[in-house]
Structure 1
């Protein structure tokens, strides 16, 4: 009779990891990251915020760095319908329609997260790529579509620089918030549209 290896009949020890808590943990990581920055953030802080055991986090993420990369990447899925930006029939109307209270609140949180990871971006290409994909590209893609519509309507020149225009407003907002430490509200966003973005696209401020 063939002898059966003991390992073949013994049940495996340990519980299967519950992945259903991952979104909750990643959201907690983003909140802590926005509050403390990467250098001040600890796994203990995230575990406490998510009401999870530290061992639960370490079974999923071997380091704080891995946790932050996944948390930042998750932000892309939470964007406010940027895949279908409003179509009002005018460039200014589309850009202004993008400035909504939920969008501003979401943007404020994103800016805090961006500020929190600045110390790591230069040292970690993977985190830099995650930040680009989650924090910058969704808004830039929506803006590209808006400016392309304006080109198609003949509202702005056909040779308008879509890449520059798609990130111009965000660059001003980021500088004001991260470097000048000044608030960004709806009035500031609309002034930026009227006084900077529209002229850069080839429209007069009063057009």
Structure 2
């Protein structure tokens, strides 16, 4: 269930409580349609029908199916990747963030592959969400490493490359998200073993 802040925030505008409820219905219905029909079979109109929302209303919130799927991912990410616990050792903080990111869409059928396709789209609303996703993950990794998100340095850059590559790999169906999480964390341990987290490799 999305947090109140996430539930009332959308790509295009701030939402009222009633609008937030409509968007929540649409994003939940999108996951159901993906499970049954896959990304190719998903349309904003079919999701609207499943959610009991008029297609015209659905299009006031989502410009395309890619936008809709990207919003599903954004909401799950914000609610599924908490701030790292500063009391934990460095590797545990980083591993916790990377595992949480990797498992956000685990066990959801075709959602992972759909997210991979959607986030690579050219829709301006998707691009906006892609930037928000990237900024959020950079912030979480910088917090885990203990550096400034505005100037995180090469260690965070390397970790970002690990998870982005790993999630694309999983989205293509080569590995499960659980397997991907294990491999990303193993690679992160190698990065951290030879790095100065103050920002100098």
The normalised TM-score by structure 1 is 0.61
Secondary structure of 1:161's match?
A: helix
Alpha-carbon distance change, 40 to 201 in structure 1, aligned in 2, over 3 angstroms: farther
Alpha-carbon distance change, 68 to 57 in structure 1, aligned in 2, over 3 angstroms: farther
Task: Report the counterpart of residue 15 of structure 1 in structure 2.
Answer: none
| Alignment check: 8 A CA contact 2:83 2:140 kept | yes
1:170 paired residue among 163, 166, 170 = 163
Equivalences for residues 132-171 of structure 1 within 5 A: 132-134=131-133, 136-149=134-147, 160-161=153-154, 163-171=156-164
In the TM superposition, what is the alpha-carbon distance from 1:36 to its structure 2 partner? 2.1
The higher radius of gyration belongs to: 1
- Misfit runs of 4+, over 6 Å: none
Task: Report the counterpart of residue 21 of structure 1 in structure 2.
Answer: 22
Q: Unpaired segments of 5 or more residues in structure 1?
A: 1-17, 152-157
Alpha-carbon distance change, 159 to 170 in structure 1, aligned in 2, over 3 angstroms: closer
After superposition, the C-alpha distances for 1:110-148 in whole angstroms (9 at most, x for unaligned) are 633322415x61x323322223314x3322210012223
Secondary structure of 1:182's match?
A: coil
Task: Report the counterpart of residue 129 of structure 1 in structure 2.
Answer: 128
Secondary structure of 1:113's match?
A: helix
Alpha-carbon distance change, 193 to 61 in structure 1, aligned in 2, over 3 angstroms: same
Task: Report the counterpart of residue 65 of structure 1 in structure 2.
Answer: 63
Task: Report the counterpart of residue 93 of structure 1 in structure 2.
Answer: 92
C-alpha root-mean-square deviation of aligned residues, in Å? 3.7
* Partner Cα distance (2:63, 2:169) in 1: 27
* Partner Cα distance (2:85, 2:50) in 1: 36
In the TM superposition, what is the alpha-carbon distance from 1:164 to its structure 2 partner? 0.9
The normalised TM-score by structure 2 is 0.62
Task: Report the counterpart of residue 43 of structure 2 in structure 1.
Answer: 42
| Alignment check: 8 A CA contact 1:144 1:163 kept | yes
Secondary structure of 1:61's match?
A: helix
| Alignment check: 8 A CA contact 1:87 1:94 kept | yes
After superposition, the C-alpha distances for 1:55-91 in whole angstroms (9 at most, x for unaligned) are x132341597346425523543442364622223421
* Partner Cα distance (2:171, 2:69) in 1: 20
* Partner Cα distance (1:159, 1:169) in 2: 15
| Alignment check: 8 A CA contact 1:96 1:190 kept | yes
* Partner Cα distance (1:201, 1:187) in 2: 20
